[in-house]
Amino acid sequence: MQISLKKIHESAKPFKIEEESVEFYGNFRRTGKHTVAIDGRLKGELELFCDRCGESFRRDLDESFSIEAVDRPVKVEESLDMIECLDGIVDFDSIYKSEIAAIESEYHLCPKCEEEDDFEIEI
Ligand SMILES: [Zn+2]
């Protein structure tokens, strides 16, 4: 789903994208000449890989986030929750992909390894 930033109005509009097992939904609205605020939520089930044993497992996903899409260059010192849309297009699919990639890049343990971890702490 792609929307021209210029066409986004100040009143909030809902959006919804459904990928395989995850729903990405929320709303977006104009907050300034060059900025659009997006409040989104990721809900569903995500396949992750355990950082210890490498096994894949599924985890329930329910995360909210707020980001801003801007059609001007983002300065390094500015918030990480900003997305540059220099071509003036807000691309919800790529926002979805980058949010999922951020979750996938975190450290994950499968339920089995998590259990072992708890066990070690008890000793
Ligand atoms: Zn594991």
For 46-74, how does the pLDDT look when each residue is reduced to its tens digit (9 = 90+)?
999 999 999 999 999 999 989 999 998 88
User: β-strands 2-4, 89-91: how paired?
Assistant: antiparallel
**How far, rounded to the nearest angstrom, does the alpha carbon of residue 89 sit from its chain's CA centroid?**
18
Please tell me the distance between residue 22's alpha carbon and the centre of ligand 1 in angstroms: 22
Instruction: Give the residue-averaged pLDDT of 65-90.
Output: 88
Please tell me the distance between residue 120's alpha carbon and the centre of ligand 1 in angstroms: 14
For residues 103 and 10, give the distance between their C-alpha atoms in angstroms, rounded to a whole number.
30
Please tell me the distance between residue 42's alpha carbon and the centre of ligand 1 in angstroms: 24
Please tell me the distance between residue 47's alpha carbon and the centre of ligand 1 in angstroms: 13
Phi, psi of 36 (to 5 degrees): -130, 130
Q: What is the pTM of this model?
A: 0.82
In the chain the first and final C-alpha atoms are separated, in Å, by: 51
More confident residue, 7 or 117: 7
Please tell me the distance between residue 50's alpha carbon and the centre of ligand 1 in angstroms: 5
Quickly count helices (H) and strands (E) in the chain. 2, 7
Q: Is the pLDDT of residue 79 over 80?
A: no
Bin 26: left if φ > 0, else alpha if -120 < ψ < 50, else beta.
left
Query: How many Cα neighbours within 13 Å face the side chain of 53?
Result: 12
Structure-block tokens of residue 108: 């994950």
> What separation in angstroms does the CA of 77 have from each of 73, 81, 82, 120, 122?
12, 11, 11, 41, 42
Please tell me the distance between residue 116's alpha carbon and the centre of ligand 1 in angstroms: 9
